[in-house]
Amino acid sequence: MKILVVGAVALGPKVACRVKRLVASAEITMIEKENRYSYGGCGIPYFVSGDVPNIEGLCSTSSHTVRDDVFFRKAKGITIQSSTEAVHIDRKAKKLTVRDLNSGRTTDMPYDKLVLATGATPVVPPIPGADLPGVSAVSNLEHAVNIKEKIAKGGVGKAVVIGGGAIGLEMAEALADMWEVDTTLVEMADQLLPQALGADMSLLVRNHMVSKGVRVQLGDTVTQIVGDPQTGVSAVQTKRSLIPCDMVILAVGVRPNSRLAAAAGLATGRYGGIVVDDTLRTTDPDIYAGGDCIEMVHMVSGERVPMPLGSLANRQGRIIGTNIAGGHARFEGTVGTFCIKVFDMSVAKAGLTVKQACAAGFEPVHSVVSQSDRAHFYPTHAIMHLKLIADRHTRRVLGVEAVGPNGDAVKARVDAVAALLPYQVDVSAISNLEVAYAPPFASAMDIVNNAANALDNIIMGYNTPIDVGAFVSDFNARKTRVLDVRGQSESKPFREKYGERWLNIPQSELAERWAELPKEEAMCLICDTGPRSYEAQLLLRAHGIANTKNIQGGYGMLSKSNPDF
């Protein structure tokens, strides 16, 4: 059995090794344009920052063997043809034409099974100057080495990162944190991580980045990158300002590399990714594809989307390998699980944001809970913010977002919910989700359970919530007063600042003092993190004071998302 694999970064090597393990006699060749293989591309920002001291760290196994062509030949029994580009598939003759990038010579290679692991290419926006030498996408190890060398030489005092997605944020941190480069991040949308977070949650990330010295320009568009004969670039011109800089990082997303497939008549989808079935076969039964070059089913929205992540590529690689070897493995789709470290803050999400859920035809409703990530009496506890989203009518859980300082703790909550997303579970499944409990790890009622309980209370009409963003806008427009049900000392600075607009009755006194309150006027209720203001809302409603809204996540969420308060 002759197997050709186009691409030798993530999915390609995984397929090749899996097939070779199951079918010792298989003849497998990987075709690769570059001279580096099987590297951890997702580690590039950590190489640039210095967390990973040298580039070999990204190209080695966990036992410190560099994954070069000798390694693949001797340890894996797999051939690599490097500096070689696949240029044409003759599906009828089952031949792949490849071109040697050094000699320019083309050769035809026969295959029984062909695997397309062609990856994705960074999008270069059509702006003047995007092709200047000081402008770099972060898409391969050579880029990474060049960026790091330039910085290490002291040649970069100021940098602009274009794009507020994962790679943009990671690169901004790498530049600002370790190298103290004066960094500005420009994002076209009015929030960071628009694919991953709702607006309120993303404000937490923006504020954290700003507190670490990164300038963040949201809702702004780059119109030109200005060249400089010395450093390559001298400035970035946006609609709002001219930002002087010595380096520009382009991180506005990637596009599936599907040209080879499309030219051979294989189907591609709405986003340009190769279409595959659940065995990861393309529309040609002898050609498989996976990783960044395909579109896959989003198991919550039902839409076919690209999802360029090394983790998915690896999981898919094993499935393709199994199927080529005669097995029956399936890839059902993605739930869009995602995580990122941003300085000392971690962010994770799975499923759909509220906006994405609306676009997919759901009627989303959500809760936001601020709570300790372990028992509140345990010394290392810290506040996590978690948002849970469900469909109002079916109560199906649609998504989860979490932000907090303890990264693994944030990941733990999101991963547990992510596991259930393909099973279309009711909110009550999260109320009773049996996550592990002991005081050093969780509260007896974990934040993920509480978020589901809050969401259930909202759906059932017990809890009438308002997001911090909507509250701030209503409060500033003088459409609502605040009833602060925390203690007197906590509310004092606010009463002094806002006078009659910021009322205070501690929750424990409310049963005796509710009659002091205006009966019809709009009031937003606030406490530390949400539970007491919910309790207050129920008590007031029982006494006929019903025009109240409970600020989701309480002061914990308000102060982190709107530090002016």
- SS3 letters across 268-286: ECCCCCEECCCCCECCCCC
The 8-class DSSP code of residue 208 comes to H
Nearer to a copy of itself, 211 or 508 (CB): 508
Terminus-to-terminus CA distance in the chain, angstroms?
Answer: 67
The 8-class DSSP code of residue 441 comes to T
What's the min distance (Å) between Cβ of 259 and a copy of itself? 25
C-beta separation of 526 from 465 below 8 A: no
What's the min distance (Å) between Cβ of 386 and a copy of itself? 14
Nearer to a copy of itself, 132 or 329 (CB): 329
Crossing angle between the packed helical segments 468-476 and 199-211, to the nearest 10 degrees: 80
d(CA 299, CA 334): 6
d(CA 138, CA 253): 10
Nearer to a copy of itself, 170 or 246 (CB): 170
286: number of Cβ within 10 Å? 13
Residue 64 CB partners (closer than 8 Å, separation 6+): none
C-beta separation of 467 from 552 below 8 A: yes
CA distances from 44 to 172, 182, 213, 440 (A): 12, 20, 22, 33
Nearer to a copy of itself, 137 or 350 (CB): 350
d(CA 352, CA 390): 9
- SS3 letters across 84-103: EEEEEEECCCCEEEEEECCC
What's the min distance (Å) between Cβ of 92 and a copy of itself? 33
What's the min distance (Å) between Cβ of 76 and a copy of itself? 8
d(CA 14, CA 115): 11
Nearer to a copy of itself, 101 or 538 (CB): 538
Nearer to a copy of itself, 378 or 565 (CB): 378
Nearer to a copy of itself, 167 or 185 (CB): 167
Nearer to a copy of itself, 89 or 345 (CB): 345
What's the min distance (Å) between Cβ of 387 and a copy of itself? 15
What's the min distance (Å) between Cβ of 213 and a copy of itself? 20
Nearer to a copy of itself, 218 or 539 (CB): 539
Report the SS3 class of residue 28.
strand
Nearer to a copy of itself, 225 or 430 (CB): 430
CA distances from 439 to 346, 406, 408, 436 (A): 21, 15, 16, 10
246: number of Cβ within 10 Å? 22
Q: Quick one: how many helices (H) and strands (E) in the chain? A: 17, 31
What's the min distance (Å) between Cβ of 147 and a copy of itself? 17
What's the min distance (Å) between Cβ of 299 and a copy of itself? 9
What's the min distance (Å) between Cβ of 399 and a copy of itself? 13
